[in-house]
Structure 1
């Protein structure tokens, strides 16, 4: 595929759950592009649809319509090995996403075995080193290491297949504040060294402003505004909902937020 085009293209993405009276239209006509090597953020309150967008793109959710292209190639309805290697996801809860009865070695070996990659032992050691962990971690279990170390393992597992894209679903929200900056700086370093493309979901505007060049604000399943992080930092959004997010210091009103978007 041409390196000149967007790395991720999403057109008219819709996601629904349930049927009839119980149907929930979780994502509504969402479209965006992300350039190769760019970081793009999705922000909004809980239930706004931002994580649902990630799950649709990664095809962990099948209830979507629209068009998703990765490096110019349109995604099918089901996951395949090529795209799985090309695009990996880092989840919010580093303990819940790691098998508690598998050693770190098992966790990192599994994707290598699935994709029949060679030099597995060397790749495991390299992955640990790249996320700042020593060889002594290799045969420990997730419960034997800290939350920050578990998230480093989750990042190592995502990177071990040498993807071009990371989908980051609140990658630091489950961590202590003192550890969050370390993980964010690690992600920035890895992106710079590997030329990775990031799509990051977060409710924390400071995190997104630190990590991303552009930000889309979601409310009730829709994109209501797209900002550069310079606009975000300067506090100059055009939508009331975004201004509410910026000033959300215990005074954020969910009822007010609902009034900012109306549907036909």
Structure 2
């Protein structure tokens, strides 16, 4: 099976001169087409920075990154965003408070050259478990889970094949988190999507992914099969600590 995402020896920096900080060090991962791959570790370990580098939001990087066999340069062309979309952590911050759901989705569809906007907006809302009655609501009229569903619908609008998921449930109530994770599982199966998912929560990764890279201080310390994670089989002490800390939730 072909790799949807390939990252080789990725290094990412922030800041400049004396304030230069290396956030990712020699990271190498590959994600097969149709797979779901997790990046897991504590806050500040570099997980989200890898997603930012992929999408062009972290411009100071070296190494090789490719999507569907096409090597990425430091500039992202428009067609890249028809293939790759990102769902951010905070649904409260990622939607414009003065734009209705209709505006959010219609503008995205128009930007990517679609014409049958009305039908597509309604279809996207149904895809994420909402109905047309949500079309003209504003973010303040939606719950956190509903906002995240709209954010997912916006990401699906260009018909991408790859979704980057940056802690997509961590800002939500526990009761809503499972609903969103199950929705993402369903959408992956229905649309043949590839996921690269960041989470600090091993239970989430175990639910969503087949493989995961464990990160610590900007480095990947282990790449582990989720089946081995569930069985407590690990080759690195840090992974063992993470597993022990969440043992009652990963099984």
Q: TM-score range by the shorter chain?
A: over 0.9
Partner of 1:155: 152
1:191 to 188, 197, 203: 188
Deviation at 1:83, TM superposition (A): 0.7
Cα deviation digits, residues 164-206 of structure 1 (max 9, x gap): 0000000000011111111000000000011100000000000
CA distance in 1 between partners of 2:5 and 2:96 (Å):
30
TM score, norm. by length of structure 1 = 0.91
Deviation at 1:7, TM superposition (A): 0.8
Deviation at 1:66, TM superposition (A): 1.1
Deviates more, 1:12-21 or 1:94-103: 12-21
- Per the alignment, in what secondary structure is the counterpart of residue 85 of structure 2? strand
Say if 2:205 is the partner of 1:211.
Answer: no
Partner of 2:75: 78
Cα deviation digits, residues 114-156 of structure 1 (max 9, x gap): 1221101111000000001011100000010100000000000
Q: Which runs of 5+ in 1 are unaligned?
A: 250-264
CA RMSD of aligned residues (A): 1.0
CA distance in 2 between partners of 1:239 and 1:127 (Å):
42
Partner of 1:14: 11
1:98 to 80, 86, 95: 95
Partner of 2:44: 47
CA distance in 1 between partners of 2:75 and 2:106 (Å):
24
Deviation at 1:108, TM superposition (A): 0.5
Cα deviation digits, residues 212-259 of structure 1 (max 9, x gap): 00010000111000100011111121111111112226xxxxxxxxxx
Partner of 2:124: 127
Q: Which runs of 5+ in 2 are unaligned?
A: 247-251
CA distance in 2 between partners of 1:25 and 1:49 (Å):
9
Say if 2:84 is the partner of 1:87.
Answer: yes
Cα deviation digits, residues 85-135 of structure 1 (max 9, x gap): 100000000110000000000011111121221101111000000001011
CA distance in 1 between partners of 2:168 and 2:15 (Å):
28
Partner of 1:58: 55
Deviation at 1:76, TM superposition (A): 2.1
